[in-house]
Each structure stands twice: as C-alpha cells, then as structure tokens.
Amino acid sequence: MLRSVYTHWLLRCLAVVVLGVFAYQCVRVGQRLDWQAFVRALGRPGNWRYLALAVALMPVNWLLEARKWQLLLAPFLTWPFPKVLRATLAGVSVSAATPNRIGEIGGRLLLARRGEYGGVVTSSLLGSVCQWVAFLLLAWPALVFTVGRFTQVQPLGEGLGRSLTLLGPGVVVAVLLGGKPLVLRVLRWVEQRSGRSTAAIRTALTNVKFKLMARSCVYACLRFSVYCVQLYLLLWFFGLELPLGVGLAGIAAIYLVQAGIPLPPGLNFVTRTELGLLLWQVDAADGVAVLAAYTALFSVNVLLPSLPGYWLIVRKNRKR
C-alpha cells in the first residue's frame, strides 16, 4: 500500500516536472519567434495538403490496429470486424488518460460480455507484444542511426551505435520467443490472485502460432510506419522541412525512447516534443513547428477517435 502511494506521488511529481519543462520551452521559443511570419508560412501554396494527408491517415492507423487485434482475438473469440473496430475505438477513449495506453484494455472490455473478458485481455497483451516487436524492428535501427549521426561526442556515438546494433537483434528474438510464455505467466498470476480458472484461455493460447504472431507483427509495423509518416507530414506543414531519411529515423528513435516512460498520452507527447527539440537543435520557428506537430498528432490520433469511442461506451451503458 505504501509503495503504491509513493509510486502515485512520484508519477505526479514527474508529470509536474515534464509539464514545467514543456511550458518553459514554449515560452522560450515563443519569445524568439516572428509569429506573423510563422502564420504566413502556414498559408504558403500547397501546404495544406500535408495536414490533409496526415488527418486522412488517422483512420488507416486505427483500421490497422483493429485488424491486428482481430487476428490475435480469433483463437479466443469470433468477433466480426465492425465489433472489433468499435471496441478498439472504445479502448482509445479510455487510454487517453492512462499511462502508456494501459487503459486501452479496459475500454475494450466495456464492449465485451463478462465471459469474453479473458480472451479480450489475453489477445490485447499479445497485441502489445507485437507492437513492441514492431518498435524494435523499425525504431531500433533508427535509434542506432540517430545516435551515430547526432551524438556530438563522436567516439561515444560510435560506441553506443555498435552496442545498440548488437543488442537490438537479441531483444527482438527474446520478445518473439518470450511473448507467449510471458502472457502465460500473467494468466497464472491472475488465477492465483483472483481464484478464477484461466485454463480455457491457456488452452486457446496454444492456437496462437508463430505464423499468426508474425502476421500480426506485420500489421503492427505498418501501423508504426503510418504514425511516423503522419508526424513527418505535420512537421512539414508547420515549417520544419527535414530530409526524409533523417526525419523518419529521428521520429522512430524518439518514439522508442519515450515508450519506456510510463506517462499518460497527454504527457507522452510532451516528452516526445522535448526529445525532438533536443535532437534536431532547431531555431525558434522550427521549435514551434515541433511543438505544434506533436500537439496536432496527439489531437488527430487520440482525441479525435476518442469521440466515437466515448459515444459507443455511453450507448453500451444505456443499453445495460
């Protein structure tokens, strides 16, 4: 109990620190910016197509997530794709205020029957495993590239690059081979703590073969690629015109580093913004572009799809 209280206050203090740094960056960058020139730059010919394309990719993002989850849910429950998509959106609405999107599972459970809870939770945990495989496959090489390119102390950068290159493949193999055993351990722990049998779920888990996990990882990789492209487009829209390879590598590396910090999405994008400002070492106008791009992406990918998710939850509760 005492540890839980300490953890709760530690997260609160961390949130205050991160928000304070973010506010300081906003004020510092804003004082050096020519706001009239920045607004005129947003209206340059053809610029709005970057914003339109980033918004258009939002449903692609969540359709890929829903399809990935449907594949992993199939060994446990036979849900049609429309129901999977509705539950996915409900998960988005709840996860908007929880650390590292852990509330996503709770949102999905709101659209499931009690007897379906085990399958929803287990398949969602497997989905998280697949997403981490995607991060490691795509973002780890990007992190190696970024460390080698942007570290000011080059010998240190080269040493870190070599270490990360060797460590990356081992982590990917460990996640692929250890994902199912880890979920089994979680199920046994839940059974011991709750006193409820998870035998049916563990039996169904044997139908989750490596080929199925690999197919789900492909969807996870596609979804992560869509996210990186969305942010890259928004950076261009707000005026930070990074080269394609450098920009996408930096975005992926930042996401991987930040993914290990247990903060709610609203603070997650603050942390990513700070990392972007440090990585790209931009001037005042480009600094505002980084701040605006991450804020816009959070609004497009989380807040916007949360609206139908909240509506689905309310409608479900009214029916009950």
Domain range annotation of the chain:
44-319
CA 54 to chain centroid, in Å, comes to: 16
Q: What pLDDT is stored for residue 80 in this prediction?
A: 94
Q: What pLDDT is stored for residue 155 in this prediction?
A: 44
The answer to whether the beta carbons of residues 57 and 229 sit under 8 Å apart is: yes
d(C-alpha 94, C-alpha 265), whole Å: 11
Burial class of residue 114 in the structure, from the number of CB atoms within 10 Å of its CB (0-12 exposed, 13-18 middle, 19+ buried)? exposed
Question: What's the longest Cα–Cα distance across the chain?
Answer: 64
Give backbone dihedrals phi and psi of 79, rounded to 5 degrees, phi first.
-105, 135
Q: pTM for the full model?
A: 0.77
Q: Given CA atoms 260, 265, 269, 270 in this order, what sign does their dihedral have? A: negative
How big is the chain, counted in residues? 320
Task: Kindly give the confidence (pLDDT) of every residue in the chain, 320 residues in length, as a single tens digit, with 9 standing for 90 and above.
Answer: 444 555 555 545 655 555 565 566 556 555 555 556 656 667 777 788 999 999 999 999 999 999 999 999 998 888 999 999 989 988 888 776 665 556 688 888 888 888 888 889 888 888 888 888 888 888 888 887 777 665 544 444 455 555 555 555 666 666 556 666 777 777 777 777 777 777 777 777 777 788 888 899 999 999 999 999 999 999 988 888 888 988 899 899 888 877 766 555 556 666 666 677 677 766 656 677 787 888 788 888 887 887 776 666 656 655 55
Give backbone dihedrals phi and psi of 242, rounded to 5 degrees, phi first.
-80, 150
- C-beta neighbour count of 167 within 10 angstroms: 13
Q: Which residue has the tokens 């379906």?
A: 116
CA 53 to chain centroid, in Å, comes to: 20
Q: Which residue has the tokens 């997530």?
A: 65
The answer to whether the beta carbons of residues 236 and 42 sit under 8 Å apart is: no
Positions of E strands within 87-212: none
d(C-alpha 292, C-alpha 137), whole Å: 28
d(C-alpha 114, C-alpha 110), whole Å: 9
Q: What pLDDT is stored for residue 46 in this prediction?
A: 79
Q: What pLDDT is stored for residue 133 in this prediction?
A: 84
